[in-house]
Amino acid sequence: MTMSAEMKIGLFDRLAMRDWYKYLLYISGIMLVLATFLDTKIQQSKVIDFSMWTIGISLLTWFSDRAVTAAYDYYVIQRARDQPIREEEKGIAILNLFVQGILLTIWLIAIAPKLF
């Protein structure tokens, strides 16, 4: 039996760097549940603190991404099909990357070291 190209499933096809905050949210949620309910030899307060801050940053990034995406979609709908991308759309895309970059940097510098 041969597999066609449509039947192949890629494990990492849906991973995208723009969704880094969703993966952090899932992982920190699992860590929070494990640190809360399992009796382990780690310092639970450090893991809980790390998880709560990571959840907060991830949710803030997710909400800001959705707001910026909605604004971008508004300008895309207003634009006719054959017109070039306007400056507003470029500015919104750059703003989204800037906000996500700042929040990722805050997480890397201030929150990630809390775990260690």
Q: Which one, of 43, 48, 25, lies nearest residue 107 by Cα?
A: 25
Give the 3-state secondary structure of residue 13. coil
* Whole-angstrom distance, CA of residue 113 vs CA of residue 108: 7
Amino acid identity at 84: P
pLDDT per residue, tens digit, the chain (116 aa), is 444 444 445 555 555 556 778 888 888 899 888 888 877 677 888 888 888 888 998 898 888 888 888 877 777 776 666 667 677 777 887 888 888 888 888 888 888 887 76
What does the domain layout of the chain look like in residue ranges? 17-115
Tokens of 37: 């309910």
